[in-house]
Amino acid sequence: MDARFSGPCAETRKEAVLPTGTDRVRRKPLARFLALAGFAMALASCQMFTPPDVQESGFQPSSKPITVDNVAANSKLAEMAKAQHPRILATYGGEYSDPKLERMVAKVVGSLTVVSANPSQTYRITILNSPNVNAFALPGGYLYITRGLLALANDSAELAAVIAHEMGHVTANHGLQRQQLEAEEGFATKVVSDVLGDSPTAKAALIRGKLRLAQFSRNQELEADGIGIKSIGEAGFDPFAAGRFLQSMSAYTDFRSISGATDASLDFLATHPNTPQRIDLAQRHARQFGAPGVGTRDRNAFLAGIDGLLYGDTPEEGYVRGETFLHPGLGVSFSVPDGFIIDNSAAAVTATGPGDIAIRFDGVSIDKSRSLTDYIRSGWVAGLDENSVRQETINGNEAATAHASAEGWQFDIAVIRAGGQVYRLLTAAPSASASLDAVARSVSGSFRILSAAEKAALKPLHIRVVTVRPGQTMGSLAAQMVGVDRKLDLFRVLNAMSPGAAVSAGDKVKIITDK
């Protein structure tokens, strides 16, 4: 959660907390609560939906791609894409700066550019400071890749496969084709009116939900696949890396389905289904270059580049450690019960658990002289039970609590003043649930101020590349990881190892540590 408390965390966005007014008519209560409280958000990203019956085609790149160096060639879509760059940065936590990593990525991009249909074309690669696994392209040669995706890849060939796919969208002018399919002026007006709002957080949310510049059709995805694999093969990379990375994403999807996801709406995985059919198609493309083993993987250079890469949340958004959220900047912490999964985003911290119970934690700015009970009664809570409003003290902090109900759902509201800031803990459960009070009191009762020593001890997590020593196993290596759950499963996913695989002395592997 961003310490600045923008968007839904600001008092001016009070309607975005519990269902009110006309929203009651349009949405079912739980879905509405989750959406308004920030639990659900759709992303316009590069989509890869494989048709039921895939036929290989003679896909060819454009001979005149729209790239950064020719944006001025009267392409409104390319100009708009250029204008979206700062907003993309705002949505994905800004640019991730690491010269060593940037040099490694630039080397891969350079190799791909040399063999492209137009070697003189220009691309702008941005590494985004996001733990989500994503990569996408905008017309104008703007290519984006998150540090979360870099953490999942295992060699330069896999990275090349991802980047080449996105370059394929650009060289095939998919953005231009989309522009031609839609009413150009109407589409441009919609993007401008949606994206250029006054609220920075609103801009970010609208980019996620409504910006369509990075979405492509099924055939365009297959075309980009074919172009990408052809590019990496011609550049000398292992062409089978594309299928290999799809397998890793599939394993990561399975891992996340149990462990929960961080702002899944911003993920490559949410819009790139990894079907066996698509993997098979990638392998067929790769076999045009020879049998498995052809081409270079350049694993050592890649691992050297990502060694030390930030993993997971940034210090500015706080950390999730198991069932506890801790924010060193704000100096606060709270925990959720067993079985709940915490999701930390820039706008708020949310958690979901058994019995359709959902929790949201955020902050608001209100006048210091205003009582918390008065704030609860100020109109931002729909279905408020006025008689339930209570002034309380939670772990030495001024607080107020209340209950509300709306269309088959019940809500618990806890508002806490600490360190000059006001925090909100909102819990929702079906009306028939008997667990709301117990869960809400457990969560609000766990809220506390961190000591100076605790704040100093909190450190971000990083990818560290280590060399396997004699006698070490996957289990002993995974046991070295800190700050993550299901260590062995995550170790296997990060290193693309099956349950039956084993490590050997001298191998290089990735672990997660705060050192």
**For residue range 91-132, what is the model confidence (pLDDT) as tens digits?**
888 999 999 999 999 999 889 888 766 666 677 889 999 998
> Which of left, alpha, beta for 140 (phi over 0: left; psi -120 to 50: alpha)?
left
Domain range summary for the chain, segments of one domain joined by +: 68-310, 317-452, 462-513
Q: Average pLDDT, stretch 76-84?
A: 73
* Top-tier CATH class for 317-452: alpha beta
Most confident option among 164-178, 355-369, 456-470: 456-470
> Any idea which residue has 């691992």 for tokens?
303
Strands in 319-321's sheet, in edge-to-edge order, are 319-321, 324-327, 332-335, 448-449
Strands in 341-344's sheet, in edge-to-edge order, are 341-344, 349-353, 357-364, 421-430, 409-418, 397-406, 390-394
Q: State whether CATH 3.10.350 applies to domain 462-513.
A: yes
Q: Average pLDDT, stretch 138-154?
A: 89
Q: Average pLDDT, stretch 376-402?
A: 95
Average pLDDT for the chain:
77
Long-range contacts of 438-443 (CB under 8 A, 24+ apart): 439/337, 439/353, 439/357, 439/359, 440/412, 440/414, 442/335, 442/336, 442/337, 443/334, 443/335, 443/336, 443/337, 443/359, 443/414
Give the pTM: 0.74
> Any idea which residue has 């009651």 for tokens?
24
Secondary structure of 402-462 as H, E, C letters: EEEEECCEEEEEEEEEECCEEEEEEEEEECCCCCHHHHHHHHHHHCEECCHHHHHHCCCEE
Query: Confidence band (pLDDT; 50, 70, 90) for 506?
Result: very high
Q: Average pLDDT, stretch 217-239?
A: 84
pLDDT at 359: 95
Distances, alpha carbon 198 to alpha carbons 43, 69, 82, 219, 350, in Å:
20, 31, 19, 36, 25
Query: Confidence band (pLDDT; 50, 70, 90) for 259?
Result: low
Q: Of the given ranges (50-64, 91-105, 348-362, 483-497), which has the lowest mean pLDDT?
A: 50-64
Tens-place pLDDT, residues 309-352: 999 988 888 999 989 999 999 999 999 999 898 888 766 799 98
Q: Which residue has the higher pLDDT, 207 or 416?
A: 416
Q: Which residue has the higher pLDDT, 219 or 101?
A: 101
pLDDT at 199: 46
Query: Confidence band (pLDDT; 50, 70, 90) for 46?
Result: very low
> Which of left, alpha, beta for 384 (phi over 0: left; psi -120 to 50: alpha)?
beta
